[in-house]
Amino acid sequence: METFEALLEESTRVHGHICAGQVIGVRMSMLALRLLGLNDPKGKDRKKLYTIVEIDRCATDAIQSVTGCTLGKRSMKHVDHGVMAATFVNLETQQAVRVTALEESRTLSKKYCGSITDKYARQLEAYKIMPEEELFKVENVRVNVPEENLPGRPLSRVVCAKCGDWIQDRREVEREGAVLCRGCAGDKYYTVIDERDGR
Ligand SMILES: [Zn+2]
Ligand SMILES: [Zn+2]
């Protein structure tokens, strides 16, 4: 496992700036990897790790940077819960830990870096040195990762009866006997203005 400093430097580069979220994300990942016994997540252990992040904020980029798990590789899943927490799964052993950043750590940062008056700067520096117990809650959990969520070739490809888009990995829904994409089934996040021909 690389050092905290090296991992933080890398995540800062990937994320584009240094912030408290990078420190939290790097430390959270290091803690989880240690507990799961995976010390080479981007090398020999790369097919063993699966992460589920509960928030789309700064720390998520750090988790991606340290673990090598990404949305595109399907080794990272985002569940939109808005909680600064992530679950790390060892797919080989099924051991899983959920790590949550503790709200109290914000206040506790004064104990470590009280001389820094700017709140954000103080938290950033304090999070580098605070003990894990004061930063995180850790739970042993069980996660069922459905096979259609795992990396690898798509398990299915079907066409939407309404719009003609192709749907992979069992995300289709059935409505009155018709196979539909989720958008056509009512879960559309956009409104078509017109279809462009030509570019
Ligand atoms: Zn950030
Ligand atoms: Zn459709």
Per-residue pLDDT tens over the stretch 5-56: 999 999 999 999 999 999 999 999 999 999 999 999 999 999 999 999 999 9
Q: Are 33 and 87 contained in the same domain?
A: yes
Residue 197 has a pLDDT of: 82
Closest ligand to the CA of 15 = 1
**Structure confidence by residue, pLDDT tens digits, 91-113:** 999 999 999 999 999 999 999 99
Distance 149 CA to ligand 2 centre (A): 21
Q: Are 97 and 192 contained in the same domain?
A: no
Q: Are 177 and 129 contained in the same domain?
A: no
Q: Are 77 and 117 contained in the same domain?
A: yes
**Structure confidence by residue, pLDDT tens digits, 109-152:** 999 999 999 999 999 999 999 999 999 999 999 999 999 999 99
Q: Are 141 and 162 contained in the same domain?
A: no
Among residues 149, 166, 189, which one ends one of the domains? 149
Assess contact for 37 and 90: CB atoms under 8 A: yes
Distance 17 CA to ligand 1 centre (A): 6
Closest ligand to the CA of 179 = 2
Distance 97 CA to ligand 1 centre (A): 24
Q: At what angle do helices 119-129 and 105-113 cross, to 10 degrees?
A: 80
Q: Are 96 and 190 contained in the same domain?
A: no
Closest ligand to the CA of 120 = 1
- Record the tokens describing residue 148, joined without a space: 């259609």
Distance 15 CA to ligand 1 centre (A): 7
Work out how many domains the chain is built from and give that number. Answer: 2
Domain that holds residue 33: 4-149
Closest ligand to the CA of 19 = 1
Distance 197 CA to ligand 2 centre (A): 19
Q: Are 101 and 163 contained in the same domain?
A: no
Confidence of residue 198 (pLDDT cuts 50, 70, 90): confident
Assess contact for 23 and 8: CB atoms under 8 A: yes
Distance 54 CA to ligand 2 centre (A): 27
Q: Are 61 and 99 contained in the same domain?
A: yes
Neighbours of ion ligand 2 (CB under 5 A): 160, 162-163, 181, 184
Is residue 199 scored above 90 in pLDDT? no
Is residue 84 scored above 80 in pLDDT? yes
Neighbours of ion ligand 1 (CB under 5 A): 19, 21, 58
Residue 196 has a pLDDT of: 84
Q: Are 34 and 56 contained in the same domain?
A: yes
